[in-house]
Structure 1
Amino acid sequence: MKRSDFIKSGAALIGGTVLSSNEAMAEKKDNKKGETFKLDYAPHQGMFAATAGKNFVDEIKYMYDLGFRSIEDNGMTERSVDEQTKIGETLAKLGMRMGVFVVPKGGNGANTLAAGKKEHIDIFLKGCKDSIEVAKRVNAKWITVVPGDYQRNLPLGVQTAHVIDALKRGAELLEPHGITMVLEPLSDTPDLFLRYTDQTYQICKAVGSTSCKILYDAYHQQKNEGNLISLMDLCWSEIGYIQVGDNPGRKEPTTGEINYKNVFKWLKEKGYSGIVGMEHGMSKSGVEGEAALVTAYREVDNF
């Protein structure tokens, strides 16, 4: 089905049943498809592939038609230069923003910044340099950095100092280009060095650069520490980017325990005008899942 046909269709698939024309029109009105959201939510490739197809440029255009005004793409550096250029041109034409992509290779378990080893830092800095060139093609302003695992044979304070030193060098590369590396505390494994909001806040304060801020992913922080709004407020000056996913399950808002309507209302009242990355899976597949995804975001964006 063409993306334009999906939006204009007189019937919609909801909950596994086909609605009548009048019911479908009511559902369309409720979802306010095509209207922009109050916050700038950013889907990623594959979320609307059932309708828009597997071509990312086509999917971006469809995302725009649904009311989204930004995208994310963790693996942007792995795409060809030609594809990066086409994505950048499409975003510019539509007036959409490019969200985060991940700095390649640097800061994983095999070359953690906590170790303070020159060869590890060199890999990270090369990743920053490569990311600058990619960012130019897609007009990206944020790149994701994960420092890597604990270096458990070293005291925690020494590891933290090593991470700060490496990030200062990365920030020096990024500052002239107006690019911000956003540090993401994660919950995937207890081996990860960076896990908590206040820990990341302390590191960003020590780096002391506009090119080093926090990527606050509410899914990970609900698992790691909870108390989302209070901790965001305490660390607000260093938060540069938001990502979301409900918990448990890491699916769209309304599928878990996080009250995203309150979280998003707080972000709006706080004056947040940045991107809210949709860093999660979907509770249903196919066209039905796409409809459920949009419905969920319309619901939590209604404040």
Structure 2
Amino acid sequence: MKRSDFIKSGAALVGGTVLSSNNAMAFNAQTKQGSTFQLDYAPHQGMFSASAGKDLLDEIKYMHDLGFRSLEDNGMPGRSIDEQTKAGELLAKLNMRMGVFVVPKGGNGANTLAAGKQEHVDIFLKGVNESLEVAKRVNAKWITVVPGDYQRNLPIGVQTANVIEALKRGAEILEPHGITMVLEPLSDTPNLFLRFTDQTYEICKAVGSPSCKILYDAYHQQKNEGNLINLMDLCWSEIGYIQVGDNPGRLEPTTGEINFKNVFKWLKEKGYTGIIGMEHGMSKKGVEGEKALVAAYREVDNF
């Protein structure tokens, strides 16, 4: 299917099946083919492979044609140097931004920074240095860090201090290059050390660096704590990056219980100009799923 045909058919789907008849006309009036969104949503590589194919560069071009202006690719460090370089060059040519990718073994899982063990810190710092080189190739400004598992043999205060000290070391590496590690509280398992927004806020304040901020993922935080807008507002000074996914299901907006139109309207009024990563799956497969995905973002971006 041609890109233009996809965009046109997607608009028809929006007007006919996703939006109500009462607001479809108003929506279509202000949504032009391939127009940019009010906020900077970043798809993941693979979200449009049914239409654009599996080549990363082709998919980046396709995302741009649909109106997206950023890309996320958690696995970017695993790509070849040549592919990273070409992706960075294409993003720059299209005036698109590179969103987060995950620091290799940056404290994930059993390699926990909460334990205070030097070998864990060394692995983390090695990942930070490797990520710095990747970031230079793809023009990335943010990298994701998860401190790892909770240590049940240590008091929470000691664990927190261990994490802070390790992150200070990482920030020292990144600060001269203007790159920020964003800490992501997760809901995947109660074994994780970092789970709550205010907990992450406290850590970022203690690290005290522009290179250590919060990655606020609305999907995880809806599961962990709810009260999304209020907690974002309370911790706003330390939020450096945002990701979304509806709950339950971790699918695109409009499929679950989160009122993303209100959340995005609040972000717009707050003056947020950063990236919003589309960190979720899709409710349908194939080309129809891709149309539904774009339609959902057009709907919630219409405020």
What's the TM-score once normalised by structure 2's chain length? 0.93
- Paired with 1:248 and 1:30, the residues of 2 have a C-alpha distance of 30
The residue identity in structure 2 corresponding to 1:276 is I
User: What's the CA shift for 1:46?
Assistant: 1.1
Listed one character per residue, the Cα deviations across residues 25-67 of structure 1 (whole Å, up to 9, x for unaligned) are x997675330000000000111111110110110110100000
Matches within 5 A, 1:9-24: none
Matches within 5 A, 1:166-245: 166-245=166-245
User: What's the CA shift for 1:93?
Assistant: 0.4
Listed one character per residue, the Cα deviations across residues 70-101 of structure 1 (whole Å, up to 9, x for unaligned) are 01010100000000011001100000000000
Does the Cα contact within 8 Å between 2:14 and 2:295 map onto a contact in 1? no
The residue identity in structure 2 corresponding to 1:56 is L
Matches within 5 A, 1:38-187: 38-187=38-187
* Residue 257 (structure 2) aligns with: 257
User: What's the CA shift for 1:145?
Assistant: 0.2
- Paired with 2:252 and 2:8, the residues of 1 have a C-alpha distance of 24
- Paired with 1:274 and 1:201, the residues of 2 have a C-alpha distance of 18
* Residue 280 (structure 2) aligns with: 280
The residue identity in structure 2 corresponding to 1:108 is N
Does the Cα contact within 8 Å between 1:106 and 1:120 map onto a contact in 2? no
* Residue 32 (structure 1) aligns with: 32
- Paired with 2:143 and 2:88, the residues of 1 have a C-alpha distance of 15
- Paired with 2:158 and 2:253, the residues of 1 have a C-alpha distance of 39
Does the Cα contact within 8 Å between 1:13 and 1:288 map onto a contact in 2? no
Q: Determine helix, strand or coil for the equivalent of 2:242.
A: strand
Q: Determine helix, strand or coil for the equivalent of 2:50.
A: helix
- Paired with 1:41 and 1:10, the residues of 2 have a C-alpha distance of 17
- Paired with 1:286 and 1:13, the residues of 2 have a C-alpha distance of 15
Q: Determine helix, strand or coil for the equivalent of 1:204.
A: helix
* Residue 21 (structure 2) aligns with: none
Does the Cα contact within 8 Å between 2:6 and 2:291 map onto a contact in 1? no
Q: Determine helix, strand or coil for the equivalent of 2:213.
A: strand
* Cα distance change, pair 270–27 in 1 and its aligned pair in 2 (3 A): closer
User: What's the CA shift for 1:151?
Assistant: 1.1
- Paired with 1:15 and 1:9, the residues of 2 have a C-alpha distance of 10
Listed one character per residue, the Cα deviations across residues 140-163 of structure 1 (whole Å, up to 9, x for unaligned) are 000000000011111110000000
* Residue 23 (structure 2) aligns with: none
- Paired with 2:284 and 2:16, the residues of 1 have a C-alpha distance of 10
Unaligned runs of 5+ in 1: 18-25
Does the Cα contact within 8 Å between 1:84 and 1:134 map onto a contact in 2? yes
* Cα distance change, pair 30–137 in 1 and its aligned pair in 2 (3 A): same
Aligned length: 296
- Paired with 2:7 and 2:150, the residues of 1 have a C-alpha distance of 48
User: What's the CA shift for 1:13?
Assistant: 6.8
- Paired with 1:300 and 1:16, the residues of 2 have a C-alpha distance of 16
Does the Cα contact within 8 Å between 1:15 and 1:288 map onto a contact in 2? no
Listed one character per residue, the Cα deviations across residues 217-246 of structure 1 (whole Å, up to 9, x for unaligned) are 000000000000000000000000000000
